[in-house]
Chain A
Amino acid sequence: MTATMVPSAPADGGDRRPRRLVRAVPGAGDRLFLGLNRTSALVVLLVFTCIGLFLGIRAFSAVKVAKFSFLTTSAWEPDIHHFGIAGIMADTLFIALVAVIIAIPISFGLSLYISEIAPQRIKKTLVSLVDLMAAIPSIVYGLWAFYFLQGRTIGIARWMSVWLGWIPIFHVSDSQAGNPTDLGHEFTASTFVCGIAVSLMVIPILTSVMRESYSQAPLGEREGAYALGATRWGMIRSVVIPFGRGGFIGGTMLGLGRALGETIVVILIISPVFTANIHILQTGGNSISYLIANLVPDSSPFGVSALMAAGLALFGLTLIINFGASAVVARSRSGAESDG
């Protein structure tokens, strides 16, 4: 019985070198299968490359005219060759930043609640609800923001502009706040309203990435913290949050990337300006996706080319943020060093 378990032992016992492991030559079926898989992966890669390529080709004629001023000009009049994305890109970032800044604390609390506090039996339902929140189309959030949220934020925005107006971003220049006949129109169609609506769309993204990494905090270290007398919050603060830092940063970046490209909510809410409007409570903002959606159908060929260049800039920015995010998430402690 024992002899059959050591099949490679030579009879004389002389040759003790390890056997050479030969990689099996794949058969025709395997080669065909792998070839098919490789081809489809290549096709997918080709499609993704083409996005950048075609946008670049179409953008060329506009960039050739505008050169470096494309990045520094805050105006959009391509037909008189006076255009650039400086202001619009800044406005895009303002909307995304407002959304992410609102989303961070809520997602942080929500993900910790789901992974650490929620009773076991409702945990799965909560995770599904967060996923459902991500699956609700942006047009639905847009309708809600336009018909429900916008009117109700006027009071908050007015309060903030009165009491926090000394901070530049909350300043509203033509505020009528003391005037009893004021309807508050200067507080609608603002970056702030847009940001709240977009924050609802990025909360599930932040939450699922954070929850994923918090729930992977090693059991051994959790129990160690409890054994040293920590309360649950003490354990969370000393074990779970440091462990999930990669997920926190990565999730936030992913959410930022998503918020930068949001189109529909911006179309419904914002009233466009082409300069950087740092006063987030005040009417007027913009985003590159809004610009593209709004202007492509009736622009001259040169105008379309300029819009393609703007699209290319947005594409590059989202790609950089997303690659960064996945690198951060991948490089975070994934439990390999723990003895959980």
Chain B
Amino acid sequence: MAVIDYPDTREQPTDTVTPPVQVRRKIGGLQRGSLFNLGGAAAAGLCTSALLQRLTALSGPVGFVVVAYVAFVVIYGVLVSLTDDAPVVRDAVMTVLMASCAALAFAALGLVVFFTLARGWAALRHVNFYTQDMSRAGPLAPLSVGGMGAALVGTIWMVGIAVALTVPLGLIAAIYLDVTRGRPARFFRTVVEAMTALPGILAGLFIYASWILIFGFGRSGLAAALALSVMMLPYVIRGADLALRLVPANLREASAALGAPGWRGEMQVVIPTARSGLATAVILAIARAIGEASPVLLTAGFTNYINGNPLSGPMVSLPLETLKLVQAGVPAYTSRAFGCASFLLVVIIILFSVARKIGGWGPGHLSPRAQKRVLQASARDVTRYAGRGSVGPSGRGPAPDRGDGTGGGYRLAGNR
């Protein structure tokens, strides 16, 4: 399909003054011919499959789709081979195969999301679902009684504590990776990367083995938060490390050249520049932690009552509540489980879009307010500059550089 139709210039006499009319070649996108091929092959594939289903003992939607797809690919290859040679046929067929892999993966994603939201809607439309706990909702209670209140409170506590623990620690550890080079930093980075794949159940088991069995504290929101922290920490560090590595080295060098000590350069140039990336890393780590049930499974315990105290007593989080409700196997509980899962899904999609939005800002992106501050500072500099210029040694307006380091032009771009 990538056949390029070269304009035929052989017939042009070489001595003409007027250049041949240049037709712009279309190098990307679908040509009309290949569109016909695709459409024809798709129709033929569907018909073949339908025919086979009638004539033979094939049955079921899966068989239909598989046969139709195979027929489609074969017929498409044959159609392309009518006009083009073997490499082009291979190219066309492989392109279709790769595109179908993409379609399959995204169809599965869409199916998972819509299936969950559709089944969860029944519970989500009740207001009490967001405010009440499950203490008065027996297995036969309608959806207008009880809800995920306990899980909501628990999730907020657990994730809040985990964020408070991991974000400072993780960001400072990422700064360590940023300011030092050499073997220890490389080792640390490798360990962090390996730890991002730590199974959640092992984070929970670790807290169970230490916090609960060895130190003798009970199951509580705090224990669950600790397990979530163990799981979140590598995500925060790796995300922040990637964001910090995107800061251009010349900003750092500029700050050093102006005589700033390393820590000031880091705090006032590098980190503000990477702010959007760091925020993205933290938000994505939170999105990860909110949905994890396995670290919480062994450490939080389970309760039907709202527990506002993370230090004592069992607590429940949204994914854990979902799991327990499903395992109960009662229809009303299943609906509530889908409600919890849908709520979780919506929260994660929102967090994710926010992270994408912030992450889409380049390094040094300014919010409108920050932009205004920079402009004001710049205006102040201009007036100061003009005032100094009029009494300057040359007396001919502002000098670009007086060599005393006080000129207004020295404000760093990334500094605000």
Contact = CB atoms under 8 A, between A and B. Distances in A.
Interface of A: 26-27, 29-30, 32-34, 36-38, 40-41, 43-45, 47-48, 50-51, 54-55, 57-58, 105-110, 112-114, 116-119, 126, 128-133, 135-144, 146-148, 152, 155-156, 159, 200, 203, 207, 230-234, 236, 254, 257-258, 260-264, 267-268, 289, 292-293, 296-297, 304, 307-308, 311, 314-315, 318-319, 321-323, 326
A106 B341 CA distance: 26
A309 to B, nearest CB: 11
A105 B101 contact: yes
Contacts of B179: 33-34, 37
Interface stretch (B110-118, B140-148, B365-373): B110-118
20 contacts: A37-B179, A40-B172, A41-B177, A44-B237, A54-B214, A57-B209, A106-B105, A109-B99, A113-B102, A128-B352, A135-B287, A139-B322, A139-B344, A140-B345, A143-B341, A233-B87, A262-B199, A264-B293, A268-B326, A315-B202
B233 interface: yes
B100 interface: yes
A33 B102 contact: no
B287 A318 contact: no
A263 B231 CA distance: 14
Given A257-B197, A315-B202, 14 more contacts: A33-B263, A47-B233, A50-B206, A58-B213, A109-B100, A110-B105, A129-B106, A137-B348, A143-B338, A144-B111, A231-B91, A234-B90, A258-B197, A263-B297
B101 A106 contact: yes
B278 to A, nearest CB: 15
Nearest to B192: A44
A267 B101 contact: no
A219 to B, nearest CB: 16
Contacts of B210: 50, 54
B288 A135 contact: yes
A263 B176 contact: no
A58 B209 contact: yes
In the complex, the 10 A-B pairs of residues with the closest C-beta atoms, listed nearest first: A261-B199, A137-B291, A109-B101, A33-B263, A37-B176, A231-B91, A233-B91, A40-B172, A322-B194, A263-B294
Given A33-B263, A41-B188, A231-B2, A132 B109 contact: yes
B169 A44 contact: yes
Nearest to B322: A139
Contacts of A207: 105
A1 to B, nearest CB: 14
B98 A109 contact: yes
A261 B198 contact: yes
A318 to B, nearest CB: 6
Contacts of B337: 143
A140 B344 contact: yes
A231 B191 CA distance: 42
B180 A37 contact: yes
Interface of B is mostly: helix
A231 B202 CA distance: 48
Which of B102, B210, B291 has the largest count of A CB atoms less than 10 A from its CB?
B102
A238 B12 CA distance: 37
A131 to B, nearest CB: 7
B104 A38 contact: no
Contacts of B63: 155, 159
Contacts of A26: 261-262
Contact of B197 (A34, A138, A261): A261
Nearest to A321: B197
A105 B98 CA distance: 9
Interface of A is mostly: helix
A126 B208 CA distance: 39
B349 A311 contact: no
A144 B116 contact: yes
Contact of A323 (B87, B112, B190): B190
A126 B319 contact: no
B381 interface: no
A303 B177 CA distance: 41
B62 interface: yes
B197 A318 contact: yes
A293 B297 contact: yes
A319 B198 CA distance: 8
Nearest to B88: A231
Interface string B158-180: 00000000000110110111011
Contacts of A318: 197-199, 202
Given A113-B98, A136-B112, A231-B2, A55 B105 contact: no
A50 B229 CA distance: 14
Contact of B115 (A126, A135, A148, A233): A148
Contacts of A264: 293-294, 319, 323
Nearest to B284: A135
Given A54-B209, A323-B194, A231 B90 contact: yes
Given A51-B206, A132-B109, A155-B60, A37 B116 contact: no
Interface string B80-98: 0000000110110011011
Nearest to B199: A261
Given A135-B287, A140-B345, A109 B326 contact: no
Nearest to B266: A33
B264 to A, nearest CB: 7
Nearest to B97: A109
Interface in B261-308: 261-264, 266, 284, 287-288, 290-294, 297-298
B208 A144 contact: no
B386 interface: no
Contact of A293 (B2, B105, B115, B201): B201
